[in-house]
Structures are given as C-alpha cells and as structure tokens.
C-alpha cells in the first residue's frame, strides 16, 4: 500500500459534565485526507483545501502529530499529506483533532500498523497542543476509537472506549463564527468550589453509567455542566435559548460542543433529533448568523479508510 484516502470524522468533546475527558464521534461530518509514501524523508503537506491553514509541517497540527509518530518509529520513507477540510477551524466539533488523528492514522496504516489506534492518541494529542496550547485527548480519542470515549489520564494517554446506546442521536448546531479553543480556555477559572466539583463528578459518573445501562433518562439527567458552561456560555450567541428550545422539544440534554461555538443536544431516536434540530434552527434564525445543523448517530467506527492503492 503506497497511498491511502481516509475519512476523519468530527467529534463532540466535553459532553457537558466531562470537561477534557469525555467525547463522542459524529457520523458523516468530517474531513478527507490523502497520505502517500514518498522517497523524500520527512512529512510534506502538499495541499489543504477548504481552509486557510499553514502548509509548513511544524506549524500544522497534522504535521506535528505525524512528526511525533516518526520520532518513536523510524520510517524507511517520507510521507506526503493532502487535507480536504470540511470541518471549520474554531467550530467546536474537533477540526484540529480530525487532522491530527488523520495524519497519524494514515501513516500508521502505510507503515503496516506498528501502533494500535489507542497508541496513536498520544501522537495526535501533539496536534491538539499546537492548536490550543493544551494537550487534551477528548476529541482525538473518539475520532481514533469511535463511539464515546473517556480519558482517564491524558498524560498517560489512558483512554477507555465506552458503549453508545443504539438509539442515541446527536443534533449539532454550528454557528458559522470562529471561537478559538485557546480563547475559550482563557475564560475558565483555575479553581472550582468543592460543591461544584461534587455535582460535576456525580453527573459524569452517572452519565457513564447511563451509557452502559442504556438508561436514556439517566443520560438526560446527567447532561449538566456546573463548572465550564457558566463561564463559556457568554461567548456563544443565543446559547440559553437554543438549549431551552432543544430540551423543550424532547432532547435528553444539551450543552456546548467542545469549546464552542457549536451547541449539541442528545436525543433518543432520530425523529426526536430531527425535531430538536428544527427547533434549534428556528430559534437561531433570529440571530442573523449563518449556521448549519448536523443530525448524527453516534459513530461507532470512527476514522476509517475510504480507498487505498
Ligand atoms: N476539552 C476541550 C475544551 C475541547 O473544551 O477546551 C476543545 O475542543
């Protein structure tokens, strides 16, 4: 195999109560990348379509993640990368994660898989670090493993794949404005009150339990964020009304997708997810900001090969 074309899905991180530790993978929404072997050693980003991003290897998240992999595994060749971006940078649905994970996944496949997808997480995190100044793994993990994932320790790249109830659907409203993760992290407080921490870890543990037991009511009750959302919601136009619209129209819960500005809701069943999408669209139209809506099953597969030669 000399060349590979891959699908690099979008993802929703945090999922309300799981700041920096919880995430899930979306279906259909995502980038494509082509990676091929070349005689010229190193990583060469030849082309990026759909976004104005740097081609220099050291300045590009895909380049930095790929270099981290090659530092640990010497390759007999170099690699050329082409990136076809569909996920906008600063959208809150894992644009940098898709590119970082894509680079290491593609190279790993072309090298005959010296690493498992789980082992690739630590390399992909280097791309996240470049993009946001923080090496979080809550987007790259669901991209590489599919479904829901829980990061027990980002430092140790210790990640657990969680089950996704079969009828769980996500609705994501993406306002077409950019919110940099670094800016959305800058508004956060370094310390939190113990009583808030207790509420947050109660909800996180209950949400994980709800995923295992397919208890949709429990999932809904647990989609609460008392730590991050109060600070970040001010950065997102119309957030409060959108969340209310989603819940009033049958969503189990709703919150900020990653660092925003996208907003997600989870629902039981595709039909409800569609109704929730319509109600969120209706609410957001009054703001005069362009947006798009994605309705998606939780994607169990994650990143995958489209074709190879
Ligand atoms: N957990 C990260 C944050 C995700 O919320 O800052 C960024 O996409």
Catalytic-residue membership of 128: yes
- What separation, in Å, do the N-terminal and C-terminal C-alpha atoms of the chain show? 5
Instruction: Place 72 in a pLDDT band, splitting at 50, 70 and 90.
Output: very high
Angle, vertex CA 272, rays to CA 254 and CA 221, nearest 5: 40
Average pLDDT score over residue span 98-113: 98
CATH number, residue 124: 3.30.230.10
Q: What is the C-alpha separation between 122 and 136, in angstroms, rounded?
A: 10
Q: How much is the pTM? A: 0.97
77 and 213 share a domain? no
Same-domain status, 241 and 268:
yes
One domain, residues 152 and 58: yes
pLDDT digits (tens, 9 = 90+) for 76-95: 999 999 999 999 999 999 99
Q: Are residues 208 and 279 in the same domain?
A: yes
Q: Does 194 share its domain with 147?
A: no
Q: Are residues 147 and 173 in the same domain?
A: no
Mean pLDDT of the chain: 97
- 110 CA → ligand 1 middle, Å: 30
Calculate mean pLDDT across residues 136-153: 98
What is the CATH classification number for the domain harbouring 231? 3.30.70.890
Segment 261-292, tens digit of pLDDT = 999 999 999 999 999 999 999 999 999 999 99
Nearest-CA residue for ligand 1 atom 8 is 258
299 membership: H or E segment, kind and range:
none
- pLDDT for 69 equals 98
**Residue 46: domain span:** 3-163+300-308
Report the domain count for the chain.
Answer: 2
Q: 116-128, pLDDT tens digit by residue?
A: 999 999 999 999 9
Q: Note whether 201 and 65 are same-domain residues.
A: no
Give me the pLDDT at residue 10, please. 98
3 in Cβ contact with 35 (< 8 Å): yes
How deeply is 211 buried, as exposed, middle or buried, from its count of CB atoms within 10 A (0-12, 13-18, 19+)? buried
Looking at 32, 149, 171, 181, which residue is catalytic?
A: 181
Q: What is the pLDDT of residue 13?
A: 98
> 179, 172 in Cβ contact below 8 A?
no
């Amino acid at each position: 195999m000399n060349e590979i074309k891959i699908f690099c899905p979008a993802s929703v991180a945090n999922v309300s109560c799981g700041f920096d530790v919880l995430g899930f993978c979306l279906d259909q929404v995502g980038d494509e990348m082509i990676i091929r072997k070349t005689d010229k050693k190193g990583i060469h980003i030849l082309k990026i379509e759909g976004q104005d991003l740097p081609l220099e290897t050291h300045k590009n998240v895909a380049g930095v993640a790929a270099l981290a992999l090659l530092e640990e595994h010497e390759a007999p060749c170099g690699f050329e990368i082409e990136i076809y971006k569909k996920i906008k940078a600063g959208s809150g649905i894992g644009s940098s994660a898709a590119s970082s994970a894509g680079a290491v996944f593609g190279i790993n496949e072309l090298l005959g898989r010296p690493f498992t997808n789980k082992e690739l997480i630590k390399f992909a995190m280097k791309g996240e670090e470049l993009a946001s100044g923080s090496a979080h793994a809550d987007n790259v993990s669901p991209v590489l493993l599919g479904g829901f994932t829980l990061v027990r320790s980002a430092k140790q790249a210790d990640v657990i794949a969680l089950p996704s109830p079969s009828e769980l659907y996500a609705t994501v409203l993406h306002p077409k404005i950019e919110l940099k993760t670094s800016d959305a992290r800058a508004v956060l407080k370094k310390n939190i009150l113990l009583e808030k921490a207790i509420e947050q870890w109660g909800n996180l543990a209950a949400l994980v339990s709800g995923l295992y037991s397919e208890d949709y009511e429990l999932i809904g009750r647990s989609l609460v964020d008392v730590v991050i959302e109060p600070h970040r919601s001010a950065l997102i136009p119309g957030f409060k009304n959108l969340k209310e619209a989603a819940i009033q129209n049958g969503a189990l819960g709703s919150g900020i997708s990653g660092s925003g500005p996208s907003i997600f809701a989870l629902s039981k069943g595709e039909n409800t997810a569609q109704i929730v999408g319509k109600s969120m669209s209706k609410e957001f139209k009054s703001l005069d900001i362009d947006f798009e809506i994605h309705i998606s099953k939780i994607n169990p597969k994650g990143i995958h090969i489209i074709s190879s030669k």
